[in-house]
Structure 1
Amino acid sequence: MAQQALVIGYGSIGKRHDAVLSELGLRTAIYSRRAIDHPCSYQSLDLALQDFAPDYVVVANRTSEHRGTLQELKSLGYTGRILVEKPLFSELGDIPDGMGDAIRVGYNLRFHPILLRLRELLQGQTICTFQAYVGQYLPTWRPGTDYRDSYSARAGEGGGALLDLSHDIDYTTWLLGGWSRVTAMGGKTSALEIDSDDAFSLLLDTPRCPVVHVHVNYLNRTARREIVVNTTTHTYVADLVGNRILIDGAADDHPIERNETYAAMHRDAMGPDTGLCCTAPQGLALMRLLDAARQASIEHVWITP
């Protein structure tokens, strides 16, 4: 496992990555263009790479800056492991040449014990319908901050429910073997003071299931993240907030610590490939799906990969 980690960006998610990596025993440093309160920080990426010499880098700045940050890391000669906070980019594009094998994308919900249990339960089953729902009220999402000042409020910085809550689109395609076609509806539906989309619904056909619905929004005043799956033999209801899965109504609880999924993801991203962590090609494939969903919502058509 890596010994020294550089976290790029020190917003709420950068602070969480820093805390988790420290708990895992790594020495951490922060690169941020603004002055911050941290024992080891740099305002120059070049200096951070030379002086701190990390063997693991977490890209946790604004989504719109991810591609430029990867290009800068390449130009400065960094060749170690990289975790890019989800989503990979704010718009569809290419990964810098030669960096793909080193990159993982921060879809930590793949390591949630409820999702891992659901994945296990669905093995070998015929899936009839699959529905994923996530909603969280943006003004109360990040306590102590004004939601109107967050990147989530600004489409140009990579904000919007479709990108911000793409966890649920990622695990859907991960569990169901990709996607065969998609149509969608979404956009700005509420009075929130944002210029990004606040709700999106995707209807998909996938290799493992012909009827798939994924809904994401910034509007739910009670945070909710739930999956309902009907197979030919069972009904599963997976509650990722309450950490419970119902199997034909019978509860199966899986208590989880707050940072458990992040710690598991980092260990995986720094170690041998297990097939769990989202790879760069998978991250790009998801970007193509999100792009197709936007197009479908405008043109009112079905789109294939």
Structure 2
Amino acid sequence: MTETTWTPDTLAAWRDFVSYQADRPHVLTVKERDALTPLLREQYDDSRIAFVNAPIVLPTPDLERLIREARIITGMNRGPQFTARLSLAISGTQTLGKSTAALYLGRAHEERERAKHAREGDKSFVPVLYVSTPPQTSPKGLMVRFASTLGIPVRSSTTTDQAMDRVVDNLRELQTSMVILDEVQHLRTRAQAGMEAASALKSFSERVPATFLYVGVDLPRSDFLGGAMGAQMQGRTTMVQMQPYSIGSETHRKEWDKVIALFEREFPLVEHEVGTLMEEAAWLHAVTGGVLGSLRTLLRKGLVAAIIDGHEHLDRRALEQVIPDYRAVISASNEHKSSRRASA
């Protein structure tokens, strides 16, 4: 796998994603680290930074709930179906981890299906297809994207129905049982092209014996589920709303503490004790607004800075020197304004 940012939008890229495992480096004692030559020290630090940046998915409370719901929906879709299958939608604002969660669900489903049917490494078996929705797509554009992901050539003279037929036949042959459609908010169903694309997607999903997982920003108010086609999709779709973590109740506070502890357990720092940052849970929430992506970015920047500076632990004092992402700055500002209004 290269070090560039990529999306698993081809079968080969998806297989790379499924097989990818982050290599956790052996963490040296301070004495062992200081005994390294400058070149070996740089290589050691680079390996730790690479691990910090690795796309590791943590079993957060949100993800655990999502996994359970996905297992229920896929279970209900098994066997002969003479009506439309149920689908699952993951919605929320940016940086809440929607796509990450969907990719994790897809990988878990693929691993489970391959193990169940003893088809590990069988390239003729594709349990999961991941596709990213093109912006303001047409029906043919949507089918071409599916075809492209599958490696099916589509001529300019090919009609939408012909492209759909080829994709459907291919997915049936590959025995695909989960289709993940990301960025589905790009379907503008109140515009003619988007409406036709949504209609094509509805027809397509009814012909493919798979669970469809739709991922997008603010889907309840999007054209996809709230527009002209929305009523037809709502009754067959289970919506999971991902939101920033709250600390307003004891239960919510425990969930936030768990998230922080999960991150701390992955720190490649020899002198860091898990629980150090849980003592700063309220401060971390204020800084990040409870947004998982902002927390991850803040901690990653703090870890990289600690490794570069030669520190082997991370605490609030070090994190206060880190500039958070702009979304976190906005969230913290809004929370401060809300607190001031409440106390006025």
TM-score, normalization: structure 1?
A: 0.29
- In terms of fraction of residues, the more strand-rich structure is 1
Q: Which has the larger radius of gyration?
A: 2
Q: TM-score, normalised by structure 2?
A: 0.27
The structure carrying a bigger helix percent of its residues is 2
